[in-house]
Amino acid sequence: MSIQTDQIAKLVERRENARLGGGPKRIDAQHAKGKMTARERLAMLLDEGSFEEYDMFVQHRCTNFGMEKQHFDGDGVVTGCGTIDGRQVYVFAQDFTVSGGSLSKTMSEKICKIQDMAMRVGAPLIGLNDSGGARIQEGIDALAGYAEIFERNILASGVVPQISVIMGPCAGGAVYSPALTDFTFMVKNTSYMFLTGPAVVKSVTGEVVDQEQLGGASVHASKSGVAHFAADSEEDVIAKIKALLSFLPQNNLDVAPEKPTSDSIARSEDSLNSIVPDNPNKAYDMYSVIGSIVDDGAFLEVHKDFAKNIIVGFAHMGGRSVGVVANQPAVLAGVLDINASRKAARFVRFCDAFNIPLVTLVDVPGFLPGTQQEYGAIITNGAKLLYAYGEATVPKVTVTLRKGYGGAHIVMSCKQLRGDINYAWPSAQIAVMGADGAVNVLYAKDMKDNPEKAAEIFEEKKKEYEELFSNPYQAAQKGYIDDVIEPRNTRFRVIRALQQLEGKRQELPAKKHDNLPL
């Protein structure tokens, strides 16, 4: 055997060993938990044969606590680039079979290299997280590694889409990288996120809680809003990632890919003419409206289980990606509260950063009252949504279906927040408040002074107020609404509006950065 042949054989053997991560026993242990290995996950995520791996032979440099006696090629993370549906992405996948996926300085350097490459090339970055946290043996070096990753997450924000997938433990400082990215996916029953684990919680507060109750996928998808998507399995989470990417551009200078459809732009939906109940206090389902106007009825909802009184997600209209924001009258009457405001504001800002037009469907009676909301800073949180819409320069098309009351009307992409085209259905009611509340404020003295005629006064003034404001025409007369449209034609009118706005150019005043009300 020649020297070169021997060298090649050693290379092949070393590659094979590197691909085994922590070895067959640890791989079996990973499978026994119902989890795939890092490489198995990447194989399922990326187009077959497209993966180009970097830094396969990197090893840690730690000599503390006997670490110098054990080395694994790759050092607990698989990094590289590949394609998903033919579009380039950069990826890293933490390997729990190597030192529990714990982060070393060299692991962080591998991840940072991929982050830098994604920025230079202008391609999405996807991180598959499955790690026991910082490698304790490396001390401050591990913490420095986390900070290097976080800094790159910050610099990449708004430049390339960043997606975090939690496929195992993610605790302590490790949680901040996912928190800094655009979308976080979790897998039910096998992934969790928290800053301090159950043992620490019990020792400090006395509270007894397990990992799933403290930071499982269902908790973060429904209660905290940390997770945008909760998947039933690892196969399901991969499918959801691919679905999300189909709506997104490669970077902030690009536009999202078009999706051909046979769904006619001119399709009308007669059911929309009768979907709003005659009783203004009766609910209807906004999902029915969304499904009726988007291409093929297909809607990818974001934050589905969090703040259900507002709906956000992606769809295609006329083959183009759009971000949909819609009040949900079937939950809390569609009222805005702290969580709904935060949820929608974050989504609006993402769409604006990546050139995705916004379609807003409005039926909002106001902000949720009460001490819990006021003490929780509903003022500041509501201002986040107002700020997000007012700052956004992407095409914005708004349709008011029914209620648009008070400050909530303003916050939901009104004309004065630089809404481009604002439509209303004939059922729209745009006013400072509803008729009952307005009469009680305006005529409280009259009704108090004439108690025997109070009911008569109330009904008379309520009818007067409804004739004036319980329709969209006063707003239309003043140009605050561009047109009153027949509900059945909403799809056609919105798509035509988006087509008109394709060449929109609007810039913000020169500044270092804004000061979003946080």
Q: How far is CA 168 from CA 102, 174, 339, in A?
A: 12, 12, 26
Distance, CA of 412 to CA of 341 (rounded, Å): 10
The torsion angles phi and psi of 132, rounded to 5 degrees, stand at -80, 0
pLDDT at 1 over 70: no
Question: In this predicted structure, what is the pLDDT of residue 199?
Answer: 87
Confidence of residue 61 (pLDDT cuts 50, 70, 90): low
Torsion of the alpha carbons at 478, 481, 484 and 487, rounded to the nearest 10:
-160
State percent of the chain over pLDDT 70: 96
Catalytic member of 156, 171, 408, 497: 408
Confidence of residue 301 (pLDDT cuts 50, 70, 90): very high
Question: In this predicted structure, what is the pLDDT of residue 438?
Answer: 82
Mean pLDDT of 440-448: 83
The count of C-alpha atoms lying within 13 angstroms of the C-alpha of 138, restricted to the half-sphere facing its C-beta, is 21
Active site residue 408: yes
Question: In this predicted structure, what is the pLDDT of residue 478?
Answer: 93
Same domain, 132 and 25: yes
Confidence of residue 29 (pLDDT cuts 50, 70, 90): confident
Q: Please state whether beta strands 310-317 and 483-484 pair in parallel, antiparallel, or not at all (unpaired).
A: unpaired
Question: Which CATH number do you get for residue 308?
Answer: 3.90.226.10
Same domain, 208 and 317: no
Active site residue 388: no
Same domain, 388 and 320: yes
Is residue 447 one of the residues assigned to a domain? yes
pLDDT at 62 over 60: no
Catalytic member of 172, 313, 323, 404: 172
Question: In this predicted structure, what is the pLDDT of residue 228?
Answer: 98
| Spatial CA neighbour of 116 closest among 151, 87, 142, 146 | 151
Mean pLDDT of 61-71: 63
* Helical pair 338-353 and 378-391, crossing angle rounded to 10 deg: 20
Strands of 103-200 (E only): list them.
125-129, 162-166, 169-171, 183-187, 192-194
pLDDT at 60 over 70: no
Is residue 508 one of the residues assigned to a domain? no
pLDDT at 443 over 90: no
Is residue 251 one of the residues assigned to a domain? no
Q: Summarize pLDDT for 151-193 with one digit per residue, the tens.
A: 999 999 999 999 999 999 888 888 999 999 999 999 999 999 9
The token pair that represents 23 in the structure block: 């070895």
Question: In this predicted structure, what is the pLDDT of residue 444?
Answer: 84
Residues 6+ apart with CB under 8 A from 361: 286, 289, 290, 324, 325, 326, 327, 399, 401
Same domain, 296 and 372: yes
Is residue 400 one of the residues assigned to a domain? yes
Same domain, 214 and 283: no
Question: In this predicted structure, what is the pLDDT of residue 179?
Answer: 95
The total number of structural domains that make up the chain: 3
pLDDT at 65 over 70: no
Q: Which domain holds residue 313?
A: 270-428+471-500
Question: In this predicted structure, what is the pLDDT of residue 387?
Answer: 97
Residues 6+ apart with CB under 8 A from 105: 60, 61, 62, 138, 141, 142, 144, 145
Same domain, 290 and 168: no
Residues linked to residue 171 through DSSP beta bridges, in sequence order:
194
Q: Summarize pLDDT for 227-274 with one digit per residue, the tens.
A: 999 999 999 999 999 999 999 999 999 999 999 999 999 999 999 999
pLDDT at 123 over 90: yes
Taking the CA atoms of 469, 474, 479 and 485 in sequence, report the sign of the dihedral they define. positive
Q: Summarize pLDDT for 263-288 with one digit per residue, the tens.
A: 999 999 999 999 999 998 899 999 99
pLDDT at 21 over 80: no
* Helical pair 140-156 and 105-121, crossing angle rounded to 10 deg: 10
Is residue 177 one of the residues assigned to a domain? yes
Lowest-confidence range among 306-315, 417-426, 443-452? 443-452
Taking the CA atoms of 350, 352, 358 and 362 in sequence, report the sign of the dihedral they define. positive
Same domain, 459 and 479: no
Question: In this predicted structure, what is the pLDDT of residue 376?
Answer: 96
Catalytic member of 122, 158, 173, 319: 173
The token pair that represents 168 in the structure block: 């195992």
Same domain, 97 and 159: yes
Is residue 45 one of the residues assigned to a domain? yes
Same domain, 117 and 56: yes
Catalytic member of 291, 407, 437, 454: 407
Residues 6+ apart with CB under 8 A from 220: 184, 186, 193, 226, 227, 230
Distance, CA of 271 to CA of 90 (rounded, Å): 44
The token pair that represents 340 in the structure block: 């709904």
**Coil vs helix vs strand at 183:** strand
pLDDT at 134 over 80: no
Active site residue 22: no
Q: Summarize pLDDT for 364-402 with one digit per residue, the tens.
A: 999 999 999 999 999 999 999 999 999 999 999 999 999
Q: How far is CA 133 from CA 86, 146, 164, 347, 365, in A?
A: 33, 10, 15, 29, 45
Enclosing H/E stretch for 70: none
Is residue 74 one of the residues assigned to a domain? yes
pLDDT at 486 over 70: yes
Active site residue 407: yes
Same domain, 55 and 147: yes
Same domain, 122 and 139: yes
The amino acid at residue 247 is F
| Spatial CA neighbour of 407 closest among 364, 440, 462 | 364
Same domain, 299 and 402: yes
Confidence of residue 88 (pLDDT cuts 50, 70, 90): very high
Question: In this predicted structure, what is the pLDDT of residue 75?
Answer: 80
Is residue 515 one of the residues assigned to a domain? no
